[in-house]
A = this chain, B = another copy of it.
Amino acid sequence: MIAEIISIGTELLMGQVLDTNAQFLSRRLSALGVTHQRRSTVGDNPVRLKETYAAALGRADVLITSGGLGPTGDDITKSVLAELLEEPLVVREDALARLKERFSRMNRVMPESNIVQAAFTKDSIILPNENGTAPGAIVPCDRFGAGKIVIHLPGPPAELEAMFDASVAPYLQKRSGSALVSRYIRIFGMGESEAETRVKDLTQGSNPTLSPYCSPGEVMLRATALCSCPSEGAAMLAPLVSKVRDRLGDVVYAVEETDGGSLAKTVIALLIDKHQTLSVAESVTGGMLSSMLVSVPGASRVYAGGFITYMNERKEAFTGVRHETLTRYGAVSEPCAIQMAEGALLRAGTDIAVSVTGCAGPDSDERNTPVGQVFAGVAVRGRAYAKALRLTGSRQHIRALACLHALNLVRMELIKGDASALNE
């Protein structure tokens, strides 16, 4: 089964909107084992859209469109295809009823112009939209070849993603008669090439497969089984995932069924599991580390908060860093990181505290600390330590990497009881 994606909307060509839908659909098609060879982006122009439809239907079995299902004159996705198929768009009473009901739930009367959102060619399968007004559709296009279809999805990402997962993925799986089940193996603390070398022989298999899966600033592996049902897939994947864990050890911080994990999520889950509380003292990261923790729903059960000591003198005032530590070693130093963590532990009254201090650039500080020099510290009752890091990249990238390293120190402390013994 060969698929193509057509992203529709002049706002995409103007660069006003970043096409995250195309990436979402590409990942899902790849996870479903559907071959995806081309993607086209066109504006709200009937002539060019028609040409694009015709060319793509000549090549592919399944076309997926995103956007252009709204009620205005610019929304031509359905009508241009109907014209190409030489079939009229007919208002479907079931879809119209759902649309009217949606408006009445919002205490609004449906404008006349929205009726067009309930109109489809006659054999279309209508896909309900849980997050917006525009229904999607699976439109048979047999005149271009037996079994060929176009799948219309709405443009807003929340609507498109929910509709794909609820209606399109099961349809495509059923059609192909098989299922693809995956495990996402998330890694921190080992480079991509090192990780790949250690599992190289495991990546040679044809079913299940194991392959690197890129994500900015992260290393991930994906194990995927082609199978007849999810439980069979789970059974096929378990021994492979177990081998990967054996080869890589503690750098594997999560194994999940979907691509939605993060180090912060793992840390919050570990804290809950072990009944521990956490606080932070941040300098160079300036709240970014805390914000990552707070982005996890439920964080307030175990994450207390902390201190942002951006100006040096606040390191003394907020976290009790000693004045002579700052004058002797500077703010970007191991002793300062340790004292920041100790101060947060004491003042926030948590079981663990983590600190970050460093220089993210663009310029060195007044002590000529090199850009990218960072120290992350951890304190627990009776014990504290810090790790020196040399990070590279832009100011934002250095800050983000520093947060991930700090989160990983907390993770190692939680699973080992002493992350200070860690090798690099």
Contacts and interface: CB of A to CB of B under 8 A. Distances in A.
- Interface extent on A, as a size class? 35 or more
Interface of A: 11-20, 22-30, 36-43, 45, 48, 52, 55, 213-215, 280, 282-291, 293-295, 297, 299-300, 303-311, 314, 317-318, 347-349, 361-363, 395-396, 399
B300 A291 contact: no
A29 B6 CA distance: 21
A163 to B, nearest CB: 17
Contact of A39 (B13, B30, B304): B13
A361 B300 CA distance: 12
Given A290-B287, A305-B307, A15 B39 contact: no
10 contacts: A13-B26, A13-B36, A13-B38, A14-B36, A15-B23, A18-B20, A280-B308, A286-B293, A300-B310, A317-B349
B293 A16 contact: no
Nearest to A30: B14
Given A15-B26, A18-B18, A48-B38, A304 B295 contact: no
A19 to B, nearest CB: 6
B314 A304 contact: yes
Task: Select the residue from A297, A308, A348, A399 with max chain B CB neighbours within 10 A.
Answer: A308
A38 B42 contact: yes
A294 B305 contact: no
Contacts of A308: 280, 287, 290, 305-308
Contacts of A347: 317-318
B16 A19 contact: no
Task: Select the residue from A12, A24, A306 with max chain B CB neighbours within 10 A.
Answer: A306
Nearest to A17: B214
Contacts of A41: 22, 38-41
Given A291-B287, A311-B304, A23 B27 contact: no
B39 A14 contact: no
Nearest to A39: B41
For the complex of A and B, the 3 pairs showing the least CB-CB separation, nearest first, are A286-B294, A287-B287, A15-B26
A197 to B, nearest CB: 18
Given A300-B310, A307-B308, A294 B399 contact: yes
B26 A12 contact: yes
A333 B305 CA distance: 19
A214 to B, nearest CB: 4
B286 A288 contact: no
A309 B399 CA distance: 22
